[in-house]
Chain A
Amino acid sequence: MAIFLTKDSRVLVQGMTGAEGSRHTARMLAAGTDIVAGVTPGKGGRSVDFGERTVPVFGSVAEAMTETGADVSVVFVPPRFTGSAVEEAVEAGIPLCVVITEGVPVHDAVRFRALASGRTRIIGPNCPGLISPGQSSAGIIPADITSAGRIGLVSKSGTLTYQLMYELRDLGFSTAVGIGGDPVIGTTHIDCLQAFQEDPGTDAIVMIGEIGGDAEERAAAYIAANVTKPVVAYVAGFTAPEGKTMGHAGAIVSGSSGTAQAKKEALEAVGVRVGRTPSETARLLRATREGGSP
């Protein structure tokens, strides 16, 4: 089992004919993803040959869904067109829309998030997407650094996701979700924690956070009330100075709020063990399985 994305997911790629879109479509196909369509306005009727599969291109998401039964969209279009691309996918009624694009205006994200409410699950923007190893990959997470297993992972950061997936590759993952580092995102830590808690294929959860906002504090409260599976966590940015954006648009300590220390304390207060380094976090996860101390 897995969350949000399984071997039965039928994936379309918005922006598949662009450089990034076609490169990552080839990678997703190699990871076993059932890519059924590409969407590029004005380029409907063509197709793209990826060797093992020729993927038809449609002019709209609605048409692609009707013709192919696609139920997941992965968005690779440039920032200035991302808002309208996502709104189109939402209007077409796609159940899951994964927005990889970095640099999407926050107002656009607020708008498509509001429009999607109750219709479409949006993951991202500015995220690596999600992968259910051995089943399907929607986004840019490398498929060959880990294996299928029973750990669930949710993270704001791409490379830290890869780092933990790699460190725990012998145990393997049900699903790893990169929710993105922007201030406004479609799917939160809490949404993923809830899905992992309900997923019979997930035994334990790794949660990765970073400075900025209070998503980790809220997740801690949610865990205390709703999650019975073991959760370990890692938080990045203890040394980040106040008022500086650290790479991710949302990664900023404002005044005394959004600090890594506050997030760590909130998680530890509800019994979540927080690693000081990614490696220690991996050891803490192993310890939850063995029932001993790391």
Chain B
Amino acid sequence: MDLYEHQAKELFGRHGIPVPAGRVATTPAQAGAIAAELNAPVVIKAQVKTGGRGKAGGIRTAAGPVTAEVEADRVLGMDIKGHVARSVLVETATVPFEEYYAAFLVDRAEGGFLAMVSSQGGMEIEELAATDPDALVRLPVDPVAGVDAETARALAAKAGLPEQAAETLEKLWRVLVAEDALLVEVNPLICTTDQRIVALDGKVTLDDNSAFRHSWEQEEHADGLEARARAKGLNYVKLDGEVGVIGNGAGLVMSTLDVVAGAGAAPANFLDIGGGASAKVMADGLEIILDDPDVRSVLVNVFGGITACDAVANGIVTALELLGERGHGRPIVVRLDGNNAEVGRRILSDARHPAVRQVSTMDGAAGTAARLAAGA
């Protein structure tokens, strides 16, 4: 889960990392009130989980409450690369004397942790890595020993950061560990003219798997179908196409989307119903997919591994009974293969449901679903 900048900064503040004074606002009036409270020139920052806000006009300065209200009105509702700014962070404008880059993250390739620090902050890190790779210090962090004061001092020195930045680096590492983060990034980390170190921006990705040992607040603005699917415990991602897809296993479902695309159609969603594939889960899944007005045909692609196909077929039959007329007659193409596939196919053909068609191969089923979605 990616955090918004204001959430990341709240975490930083809690761990003793200096951040500019400020608060989040969802209306221009609130933004004006916060600016009045701060009683100083402010920055209005669009809260979206994507980069390039500055270039898109999502970061603006205001001399006081009146301009803050006007600027917040311009930023709120702004669409930045498909992300709508539903809130803005209003904070005291802080002028950097120098800008640095600092991050700790999970290094997938090495299966460990990595520190990345540079005295050249401010620009996108991919850009820095490409233009001036020597300016970016990358050091693996021992996952058991971690980053202590000494390691942090060495890291700051190696990257050419002032000595007082070491303490912030150590605290940033503690944020990663204490919050089970996959990434903590500050860009820019600044030194002010009066020699203070301040985190001017913040990006934090938390590990959803560790939610059980934290009490994070969720602030999500998900698509309606995605939110409904999540409430039912379904692993669903809405996409732009017209062929609804249900399958078992993340890899097989991703593969099914690709095969649908290869057949000339576009998948409407990703939906993994997992290993069990009970009638209830199948019904919940079919219901979400058939409630998507973009869906013109449905492809159910199940490989019976642990779960036998007869159980899956019974699940589909029960699901269709539960749904009744709600399918609106859209065709459902089913491909069952693997464990007990023949029994499963017989159960489906005996049920004679008017919407269901069976195709025995994955490629063939995707082709049929694509044709049916195109109205052929």
Contacts and interface: CB of A to CB of B under 8 A. Distances in A.
A30 interface: no
Contacts of B109: 213-215, 218
A80 interface: yes
A255 to B, nearest CB: 7
B226 to A, nearest CB: 10
Interface string A84-105: 0000000000000000000111
**B interface majority secondary structure:** mixed
**A interface majority secondary structure:** loop
Contacts of B303: 159, 162-163, 166
Given A213-B109, A238-B258, A80 B251 contact: no
A201 interface: no
A183 B144 contact: no
A140 B275 CA distance: 11
Interface string B30-61: 00000000000000000000000000000000
Interface in A168-224: 181, 183-186, 208, 210-215, 218
A160 B257 contact: no
B207 A251 contact: no
A270 interface: no
Interface stretch (A52-60, A62-70, A242-250, A286-294): A242-250
B250 A247 contact: yes
Nearest to A211: B254
A233 to B, nearest CB: 13
Given A166-B338, A238-B258, A249-B208, A159 B305 contact: yes
A237 interface: yes
A240 B339 contact: no
B106 interface: yes
B249 interface: yes
Interface stretch (B12-20, B153-161, B259-267, B346-354): B259-267
A155 B112 CA distance: 21
Interface in A228-273: 234, 236-241, 244-251, 255, 260
Interface stretch (B209-217, B318-326, B368-376): B209-217
Contacts of B132: none
A241 B241 CA distance: 12
B239 A185 contact: no
Nearest to A140: B306
B111 interface: yes
B218 to A, nearest CB: 15
B193 interface: no
A50 to B, nearest CB: 17
Interface in B233-265: 235, 237, 239, 247-255, 257-262
Contact of A277 (B235, B255, B272): B255
Contacts, number: 178
A160 B338 contact: no
A140 B106 CA distance: 28
B144 A142 contact: no
Given A105-B209, A255-B126, A236 B305 contact: no
Contact of B259 (A103, A105, A277): A277
Contact of B338 (A162, A237, A249, A255): A162
Nearest to A276: B262
A150 interface: no
Given A166-B337, A249-B208, A184 B111 contact: yes
Given A157-B250, A181-B250, A236-B254, A110 B143 contact: yes
A104 B251 contact: no
B207 A279 contact: no
B108 interface: yes
B249 A160 contact: yes
Contact of A239 (B106, B249, B261, B305): B261
B252 A238 contact: no
A115 interface: yes
A145 B339 contact: yes
B173 interface: no
A124 interface: no
A158 B254 contact: no
A152 interface: no
A106 B106 contact: yes
B180 A107 contact: yes
A247 B235 CA distance: 6
Contact of B255 (A213, A245, A278): A278
Contacts of B270: 240, 244, 246-247
Nearest to B302: A159
A251 B362 contact: no
**Counting chain B CB atoms within 10 Å of each CB, which of A142, A159, A186 scores highest?**
A159
Across the A-B interface, the 7 shortest Cβ-Cβ residue pairs: A157-B251, A247-B250, A159-B249, A159-B252, A105-B210, A236-B254, A160-B251
Given A162-B249, A215-B109, 9 more contacts: A113-B111, A114-B143, A145-B338, A183-B106, A214-B109, A247-B250, A251-B250, A279-B361, A279-B362
20 contacts: A106-B182, A106-B210, A107-B106, A113-B111, A158-B251, A159-B252, A160-B252, A163-B362, A166-B338, A181-B250, A181-B251, A186-B111, A211-B254, A212-B108, A236-B258, A238-B261, A239-B261, A246-B237, A248-B250, A249-B208
Interface of A: 27, 79-80, 103-107, 109-111, 113-115, 140-142, 144-145, 155-163, 166, 181, 183-186, 208, 210-215, 218, 234, 236-241, 244-251, 255, 260, 276-279
Interface of B: 106, 108-109, 111-113, 126, 142-144, 177, 180, 182, 207-210, 212-213, 235, 237, 239, 247-255, 257-262, 266-267, 270, 272, 275, 303, 305-306, 337-339, 361-363
